[in-house]
Amino acid sequence: MIKAITGTKDILPIDIPKWKYLESIVESTMKTFNYKEIRTPIFEETALFSRGIGESTDIVSKEMYSFVDRSGTSVTLKPEMTASTVRAFMEHSLGKQQGLNKLYYVSPMFRQERPQAGRYRQFHQFGAEALGSHEPLIDAEMIILAHRIISRLGLNNIEIKINSLGIPESREKYKIILKEFIKPHFEKLTEDSRKRFDTNILRIFDSKADNDQQIMKDAPLLIDHLDEESLKHFETVKQILDKAKIKYDVDPKLVRGLDYYTHTTFEILSSSVGAQSALCGGGRYNLLAEQLGGNPTPAIGFAAGIERILLACENEKSLNLPEDNIDLYIVRMDKELTAEAYELSVIFRNENINVELDYLSRSVKAQMREANKLNAKFVLLIGGDEYAQKKLVLKNMETSEQIFFDINDLISIKEKIIN
Ligand code: ATP
Ligand code: MG
């Protein structure tokens, strides 16, 4: 038998209510903050991501699902949404219509990673991107927005880490200092970190290897080498977060994977999900639009992993979803009345009442069992002596009250059900 591809997952009906609930929280919170939804294609030209995310990142160097299509174009299933959003923003000149564009999305993403708990090859993210403003206000808003969604989902065991990566000029100067510091320890670094030494030295801070961490423990920090402007920006972000009563820790070693970040970066972590503890990551990327051939556009965004957030919700038992139910189950007492029962279901469904009935020639007892299983609020009995006297019986499943209706008085039945 053919199975689902490694690292992909079916979302079965039993899990859908959780997903819908999370999506509804995302949607309504985004509305509160006036972010508008954007949907972009599942695949893009490979160059968008390799240029946009940066060749030296994990995503581009080893995780992308790229293939050459029949016309010979290299395309890639989207591994993240920022590059696609910026492409769409530039392609449709959204910046000309509005000074600040506040956008959000919910979408599947694709990365060829080693599958493990909280790490899949097709996974889902929601996130936001705000394009057009330099103001620290919007940096703070991104964090407040992400935090708001996560707290509305009832998650408590979370930690917000923030840092500033400043501007390229101060970062380049700092990289020289960092290189000098690491050089004497170079041979002791892991292979991955040695590669990063030339391609993306800041990311050595990301290494999980004990030995690397030991070396980096005493490394000079970017935050101590920021220019005045960047420090002021960061200070303002922190002040706004303080006023909004958002708790955070400044983590000078938080560098994040992507090349294009400037100024604020942040992560929201959960202690409820095991090793893959990052629920959400984000940051300012003032350089990206220009890197992709557009006008310089200051921008900031975040992306959150839905599977990990739902796992945290499960582990913290934070979601209190209402039980699934239906309004009405029609029990047909005689097989000869199958057509009549079905006709009733059509009439009630046209009134937007959710109705189920039997399709398996089940006995009356089995139909009642099914009605209970489906949590039916009402059962409508059709058949027997009552039907001979042109009556239908409506049973309230909670109170067991039975009411008799004339078979032609469907309006009264409907009234009873919806009230
Ligand atoms: P990680 O360090 O876990 O690899 P990342 O830096 O690659 O994360 P981002 O690109 O910032 O992750 O994506 C934002 C969020 O998307 C992550 O915090 C995580 O919740 C989720 N995420 C990333 N990769 C995966 C994956 N392969 N499977 C499930 N969720 C993921
Ligand atoms: Mg990753």
Q: How far apart are CA 55 and CA 62, in angstroms?
A: 10
Instruction: Quick: pLDDT tens for 25-52.
Output: 999 999 999 999 999 999 999 999 998 8
- The fourth-level CATH superfamily of domain 326-418 is Anticodon-binding domain (3.40.50.800)
Q: Is 269 in the pocket of ligand 1 (CB under 6 A)?
A: no
What pLDDT score was predicted for residue 198? Answer: 87
Q: How far is the CA of 278 from the centre of ligand 1 (A)?
A: 7
| For residues 332-352, average pLDDT | 96
pLDDT band at 64 (very low <50, low <70, confident <90, very high): very high
- Report DSSP state, residue 89: H
Q: What is the mean pLDDT of residues 104-116?
A: 96
| Section 76-90 average pLDDT | 97
Give the pLDDT confidence score for residue 257 in this predicted structure: 65
pLDDT at 259: 66
Domain limits, the chain: 16-167+227-316, 326-418
Closest ligand to the CA of 119: 1
According to DSSP, the residues that pair with 126 across neighbouring strands are 106, 304
Q: Same topology for domains 16-167+227-316 and 326-418, yes or no?
A: no
Does residue 412 carry a pLDDT above 70? yes
pLDDT of 384 > 70? The answer is yes
State pLDDT tens for residues 248-267. 999 999 987 666 789 999 99
Would you say the CB of residue 194 lies under 6 angstroms from ligand 1?
Answer: no
pLDDT score, position 117: 85
137 closest CA partner among 29, 240, 262, 229 = 240
| Residue 80 Cα to ligand 1 middle (Å) | 9
Each residue of 280-319: pLDDT tens digit?
Answer: 999 999 999 999 999 999 999 999 999 999 999 999 999 9
Answer whether 307 contacts ligand 1 (Cβ < 6 A): yes
Closest C-alpha to 104, from 150, 34, 35, 41: 35
CA distance 132 to 269: 28
- pLDDT surpasses 90 at 5: yes
Which residue, chain included where needed, has tokens 């600040």?
100
**95 to each of 31, 73, 140, 142, how far by Cα in Å?**
20, 29, 21, 19
Quote the pLDDT of residue 54.
Answer: 82
Percent of the chain past pLDDT 90, that is, above it, reads: 89
Q: What is the pLDDT of residue 332?
A: 97
327 CB near ligand 1 (under 6 Å): no
Distances (CA, A) of 130 to 108, 138, 211, 341, 369: 20, 8, 38, 54, 52
Of 49, 111, 269, best ligand 1 pocket probe by most atoms within 8 Å of the beta carbon: 111
* Span 207-246, pLDDT tens digits: 889 999 999 999 999 999 999 999 999 999 999 999 999 9
Q: Which pLDDT band, with edges at 50, 70 and 90, does 357 fall under?
A: very high
Mean pLDDT of 79-107: 97
When pLDDT is averaged across residues 60-78 and rounded to a whole number, the result is 95
For residue 57, the model assigns a pLDDT of 83
Whether residue 419 has pLDDT greater than 90: no
Q: What is the mean pLDDT of residues 161-186?
A: 93
* Contact present, 381 and 331 (Cβ < 8 Å): yes
CA atoms within 13 A on the CB side of 174: 19
Angle of helix 16-32 versus helix 136-152 axis, rounded to 10 = 150
CA distance 5 to 65: 13
> What pLDDT shows up at residue 284?
96
- Sequence-distant (≥ 6) Cβ neighbours of residue 183 within 8 angstroms: none
Buried-state track 243-259, b at ≥16 Cβ within 10 A, e below 16 = eeebebeebebbbbbbb
Tokens found for residue 295: 């006008």
Give this prediction's pTM: 0.94
| 24: confidence class by pLDDT, cuts 50, 70, 90 | very high
* H-type alpha helices, 33-166: 46-53, 58, 82-91, 94-97, 136-152
Ligand 2 center to 303 CA (angstroms)? 12
pLDDT of residue 271: 94
Distance from the alpha carbon of residue 59 to the mean position of ligand 2, in angstroms = 7
Instruction: Judge if the beta carbon of residue 29 lies within 6 A of ligand 1.
Output: no
Given CATH 3.30.950.10, say whether it is the number of domain 16-167+227-316: no
In the predicted structure, residue 109 carries a pLDDT above the cut 80: yes
